[in-house]
Amino acid sequence: MTPFMLAYAPSDESSGQESTYAAKIDSLLSLMTIEEKLGQLNLPAAGDITTGQASNSNFAEKIRNGEVGGLFNIKTAAKIREVQRIAVEESRLKIPLIFGMDVIHGYQTVFPIPLALSCSWDMELIERTARIAAIEASADGICWTFSPMVDIARDPRWGRIAEGAGEDPYLGSQIAKAMVKGYQGDDLTQNNTVMSCVKHLALYGAAEAGRDYNTTDMSRIRMFNEYMPPYKAAIDAGAGSVMTSFNEIDGIPASANKWLMTDVLRQQWGFDGFVVTDYTAINEMIDHGLGDLQQVSALALKAGVDMDMVGEGFLTTLKKSLEKGIISESDIDKACGRILEAKYQLGLFDDPYRYCDLQRAETEIFTQEHRNEAREIAAETFVLLKNENNLLPLEKKGTIALIGPLANNKVNMPGTWSVAARFDEAISLMDGMESVVGDQAEILYAKGSNVYQDSLLEARAAAFGKSTGRDPRPEAEIIAEAVEVAKKADVVVAVIGEASEMSGESSSRSDISIPETQRNLLKALLETGKPVVMVLFTGRPLAMTWEHENVPAILNVWFAGSEAGYAIADALFGEVNPSGKLTTTFPQNVGQVPIYYSHKNTGRPLPEGVEYQKFTTNYLDVTNEPLYPFGYGLSYTNFEYSDLNLSTTSINKNQKLTVSVQLSNTGKYDGAEVVQLYMRDLVASVTRPVKELIGFQKVELQAGESKTVSFTVSEEDLRFYNYDIEYVSEPGEFEIFVGGNSRDVLTGKFSLVE
């Protein structure tokens, strides 16, 4: 290896303190020209280059000129080593590049989509997925991931609901922390940890009408109570970087929003990492109507943005703004210093090839061990939505008809945002069932329908080359063939729902029901009189009242990652007992959206148990109830809750209360139950939600076993942001609820006293 020559002092590896790097950063800044400083703020996408081509690629010249701070969308240790070599050998100051990627739910070993992972309610498991993702990505040259995405989302029309942890700020915060910990470990300089980038600050999930990139607008009080907590939690957990969102907040797009990026993020929350924009978000402020590229770039820098993803507004205009006195050199130095600091923290100044160990790529990516873990983890994310007469689990015997547009499809298994997946090696449900059943039962297959009968819609659902294997025959013919197959079987497994690219970025839907052709298939299958189990593929909550009313068993498997087929088969045949619980509400119809459990009471609440009452808050044509509430999910066994007990009826600010409940597994199978603790602040200076999650525990119980499950509640759990955005608790009465979902709960009461 060519020795790496430093024009400045190397970092002290023994300490990650900012102060350790400050002097080094200052001395480096003093050597840099304005152009070189602006170069550090520039993050182009690498595009596809083949190994050996890096020195001739269109960005090589820019790197030599010191016009690039990092690259993303480039992978393999070999390629990244080549590119890094240009930076550290051929540029004047030899500053290493940072290499980023969207490692969202696994790398080559793909885990379920984030929304699915959240349904495990298992923080160790979620942290483990991030850890494995970091090991694999860093073995492939990457040291920075654009994850976790922690945007609270309450609108299932928004396709990116698939990428987050659902609707709840408390659960979302726990998950945000677990992910950051998993990626970053305890020591960012280790070659198998990566820096995380929490995104998208802020409120991206509240896009109006669920249309991606759309405007958001909300009160500060809602913002701080309901949307901000997960971002803050990720920052408290030490996330090294933050990504801006595309949307506006209070009329100013995030990337120009100084209140957000400086006052809140840095001053209130104490964030000291760097801020990168989302893809071309600075340039997009021209269309938002904030000025030309020079103006919006200056606004972004002034607001607190450090790195410009793709758009090159910083690179091409900030010098002019400096000359005009619109920005100062110290604005540039601040941003540049933060990026250099991240590179110090990652250990890149000591060894720019730290993440380019060709050996690791051979032995640490897509290993059998990782794949085995992915299989086990996937099964923990499935949510059993219905199971009439214990139709599930299936027995491994007789003849099973496997029917559905994606039942024998590999490329749709990993789910949206799985850019490093080995799609051809993903496990289809057909593969998985055959492997799990072996020769104990016969599996017959028919496609049964397309995802959509409309070829235009299906083409959109098959973006990025994720073929749905479209069948050109008329609908009736495809269905008739499936009915014949079903008639020969003892039981039908109907694989119904979305293709993976029907959720994710720029995949909003105004109609969130099952596409008509698939419903026609389901009807035909049900008419055969055979028992039908519906396996649901989806990246969002769907409005599936008809399916709930007509299909006896429904297992929601989301998009379960590279080992999906095995994991689904494990659950269908009872090797694993489903224990996932929904983290977003399923509406009865799209008109109820946004619908979430922690809503306010209003001044005219509908009395409990009443379906409709004039002059109360409700609809003429649908009840207020969701189809499936937040926290909901069944098991092959039954759990019963009894004996809710509060250790005292009042606490002061320094005291704690124990809430306990008896949980019994009264069914035939061993299983795990997510016990959920909610509270309601009955009287406060501002209106409070009817329920708020403040704790949960995943408890394993053998068949017939009972356990006492206890939670500790203290004053801290009762805090919220008041009208002045102060984080306070207020004395008064509180209700406590414990149950297996947000609707079916046992209730108690206590007071917080001065």
Of the candidates 59, 146, 170, 597, which one interacts with ligand BGC according to CB under 6 A? 146
In angstroms, give the least distance from the CB of 751 to ligand BGC. Answer: 44
Which two tokens mark 236?
Answer: 């408290």
Comparison of 309 and 572: residue with beta carbon closer to ligand BGC = 309
Q: Is 203 in a helix, a strand, or coil?
A: coil
**DSSP secondary structure, 413-449, as one string:** SS-SS-TT--GGGS--HHHHHHHHHTTSSEEEEE--S
In contact, 51 and 79? CB cutoff 8 Å: yes
Comparison of 273 and 739: residue with beta carbon closer to ligand BGC = 273
In contact, 274 and 69? CB cutoff 8 Å: no
Comparison of 194 and 554: residue with beta carbon closer to ligand BGC = 194
Site for ligand BGC contains 490 (CB under 6 A):
no
To the query of whether residue 278 is one of the catalytic residues in this protein, the response is yes
Q: Which of 122, 140, 278, 681 is catalytic?
A: 278
In contact, 71 and 41? CB cutoff 8 Å: no
In angstroms, give the least distance from the CB of 384 to ligand BGC. Answer: 31
Comparison of 35 and 48: residue with beta carbon closer to ligand BGC = 48
> x/- contact string, 422-461, with ligand BGC (CB under 6 A)?
----------------------------------------
Site for ligand BGC contains 102 (CB under 6 A):
yes
**Would you state the torsion angle of the CA atoms of residues 188, 191, 192, 194, taken in this order, to the nearest 10 degrees?**
40
In angstroms, give the least distance from the CB of 100 to ligand BGC. Answer: 8
Number of residues that bind ligand BGC (CB under 6 A): 6
The reply to whether omega before 202 is within 30° of 0 (cis) is yes
CA 522/CA 63 separation, integer angstroms: 56
In angstroms, give the least distance from the CB of 299 to ligand BGC. Answer: 20
**DSSP secondary structure, 82-98, as one string:** HHHHIIIIISSS-PPPE
- CB burial of residue 56 (10 Å; 0-12, 13-18, 19+): exposed
Q: Is 723 in a helix, a strand, or coil?
A: coil
Comparison of 101 and 228: residue with beta carbon closer to ligand BGC = 101
Nearest to 739 by CA among 708, 704, 696, 680: 696
Residues near 389 by beta carbon (within 8 Å), at least 6 away in sequence: 552
Site for ligand BGC contains 279 (CB under 6 A):
yes
In angstroms, give the least distance from the CB of 199 to ligand BGC. Answer: 6
What single letter denotes the amino acid at residue 289? Answer: G
Nearest to 632 by CA among 668, 592, 589, 579: 579
In angstroms, give the least distance from the CB of 365 to ligand BGC. Answer: 20
Comparison of 146 and 597: residue with beta carbon closer to ligand BGC = 146
Comparison of 234 and 694: residue with beta carbon closer to ligand BGC = 234
CA 122/CA 583 separation, integer angstroms: 12
Nearest to 599 by CA among 165, 170, 118, 226: 226
CA 352/CA 81 separation, integer angstroms: 8
In angstroms, give the least distance from the CB of 507 to ligand BGC. Answer: 12
Q: Is 678 in a helix, a strand, or coil?
A: strand
Site for ligand BGC contains 353 (CB under 6 A):
no
Residue 456 exposure: Cα atoms within 13 Å on the Cβ side: 0
Return the residue nearest ligand BGC (CB atom). Answer: 146
Q: What is the C-alpha radius of gyration for the chain, rounded to an integer number of angstroms?
A: 27
Which two tokens mark 28?
Answer: 């480096």
Site for ligand BGC contains 213 (CB under 6 A):
no
Comparison of 220 and 460: residue with beta carbon closer to ligand BGC = 460
Comparison of 76 and 145: residue with beta carbon closer to ligand BGC = 145
Count the residues in the chain.
754
Comparison of 45 and 93: residue with beta carbon closer to ligand BGC = 45
Burial string for 595-630 (b: 16+ CB within 10 Å, else e) reads bbbbbeeeeebbeeeeeeeeeeebeeeeebebbbbb
CA 247/CA 288 separation, integer angstroms: 9
Site for ligand BGC contains 168 (CB under 6 A):
no
Of the candidates 79, 105, 154, 199, which one interacts with ligand BGC according to CB under 6 A? 199
Site for ligand BGC contains 99 (CB under 6 A):
no
Site for ligand BGC contains 151 (CB under 6 A):
no
In angstroms, give the least distance from the CB of 64 to ligand BGC. Answer: 25
Question: How many other CB atoms sit within 10 Å of the CB of residue 440?
Answer: 11
Of the candidates 331, 490, 505, 625, which one interacts with ligand BGC according to CB under 6 A? 505
Site for ligand BGC contains 705 (CB under 6 A):
no
Comparison of 102 and 168: residue with beta carbon closer to ligand BGC = 102
In angstroms, give the least distance from the CB of 183 to ligand BGC. Answer: 14
Site for ligand BGC contains 212 (CB under 6 A):
no
In angstroms, give the least distance from the CB of 318 to ligand BGC. Answer: 22
The reply to whether omega before 393 is within 30° of 0 (cis) is yes
Nearest to 553 by CA among 394, 387, 400, 403: 387
Q: Which H or E run includes 24? A: helix 18-31
The angle formed by the CA atoms of residues 740, 741 and 745, to the nearest 5 degrees, is: 75
Site for ligand BGC contains 24 (CB under 6 A):
no
In angstroms, give the least distance from the CB of 275 to ligand BGC. Answer: 13
In angstroms, give the least distance from the CB of 306 to ligand BGC. Answer: 16
Which residue has tokens 């489903």? Answer: 578
In angstroms, give the least distance from the CB of 241 to ligand BGC. Answer: 11
Comparison of 103 and 738: residue with beta carbon closer to ligand BGC = 103
- The Cα-based distances of 592 to 166, 512, 588, 625, 629 in angstroms read 17, 12, 7, 9, 13
Site for ligand BGC contains 231 (CB under 6 A):
no
Comparison of 500 and 579: residue with beta carbon closer to ligand BGC = 500
Q: Is 555 in a helix, a strand, or coil?
A: strand
Of the candidates 140, 278, 312, 563, which one interacts with ligand BGC according to CB under 6 A? 278
Nearest to 467 by CA among 528, 524, 406, 521: 406
Which residue has tokens 């994710």? Answer: 504
241-244 vs 692-701, strand pairing mode: unpaired
CA 638/CA 513 separation, integer angstroms: 29
Q: Summarize as ranges the residues that interact with ligand BGC (CB under 6 A).
A: 102, 146, 199, 278-279, 505
Query: Which amino acids are annotated catalytic?
Result: 278
